[in-house]
Amino acid sequence: MTQITASMVKDLREKTGAGMMDAKKALSETDGDMEAAIDLLRQKGMAKADKKSSRTAAEGLVSIKTEGTTGVAVEVNAETDFVARNDMFQTYVKDLTARILGSDVSTDAYADPESESGAAVKDELTELIAKIGENMAFRRAAKLSVTNGVVCGYMHNSVAPDMGKIGVLVALESTGDQAKLQELGKQIAMHAAAAFPKYLKQDEVDASELEREKNVIREQAREQGKPDDIIEKMLTGRMRKFYEEICLLDQIYVMDNERTISKVLKDAESDVGVPVELTGFVRYQLGEGIEKEETDFAAEVAAAANG
């Protein structure tokens, strides 16, 4: 049986908002499986919807750059926030972002040390590490483009122009007024920064994630004593709410808390003069999904003292 540690309980509490004893019991019942424990707590009504923690777990910079009908987002990680404010590091990230934007090479190649582009990035970072004295890593990059229209960017928590902790790109396909499209795109990018969408639209949602959510809803209803035929009817309304939380086009626009993003785009057509289609978005949050190693300083001192 897996040993349930205090850090595991702490992690589960942060992800669900559940009490300490409830979190510990859920971990014990699921033999330490974090995802299963989250589901169990949700089934018992002791946890909020399963949203991955937005707390950053690594330092460095997210960078964005747009040019006409193309835009790119990049994340480069470092060990401390001090490096994110270092001029050499910022210059490197800025130059790398511009290089990727202007390149025809796949963005995946830059993260692959076996590729020519990836090897070049690795060598450059090795040289920068030697100068700054801190470990760094190129994590990811994504590019968006449209045939007609604009790719707009928004940077939240900037530490330098177009560099910071949350970067968003939004691609709008349209032959309408460019200035109005830019304004609309920036507003939607700001919404995405705040609302944390995972997918653009419903048919992009991962099938396994969809089934997992349905199972959680079913188990919650069974805990309340609902019969199976009622449970299946409940699924429609509950899944609509689920899509509103994770799909950008279904989310309620944070600027007015009334319209969905789909409705915002439809309403914009009269202003822009022609149809507007949101074809893609990228939202990078610094360190999301990376577990930073947490050390117990007191334990380290005790271990050192004991030889």
Could you identify the residue written with the tokens 């972002």?
97
Instruction: Check if the beta carbon of residue 82 is closer than 8 Å to that of residue 152.
Output: no
Tell me which of 99 and 215 has the higher pLDDT. 99
pLDDT at 307 over 50: no
Average pLDDT, the chain: 87
**Count of Cβ atoms closer than 10 Å to residue 238 Cβ:** 16
- The pLDDT of 144-171, averaged and rounded, is 96
Tokens standing for residue 44 = 């018992």
pLDDT at 228 over 70: yes
pTM (predicted TM-score): 0.75
Tokens standing for residue 158 = 């900037």
Per residue in 244-290, pLDDT tens?
Answer: 999 999 999 999 999 999 999 999 999 999 999 999 999 999 988 77
- Is 59-199+263-285 the same fold as 1-53? no
Reported CATH class of domain 59-199+263-285: alpha beta
1-53: in CATH 1.10.8.10: yes
- Cα separation, 96 vs 74, whole angstroms: 8
- The pLDDT of 182-196, averaged and rounded, is 96
What ranges do the domains of the chain cover? 1-53, 59-199+263-285
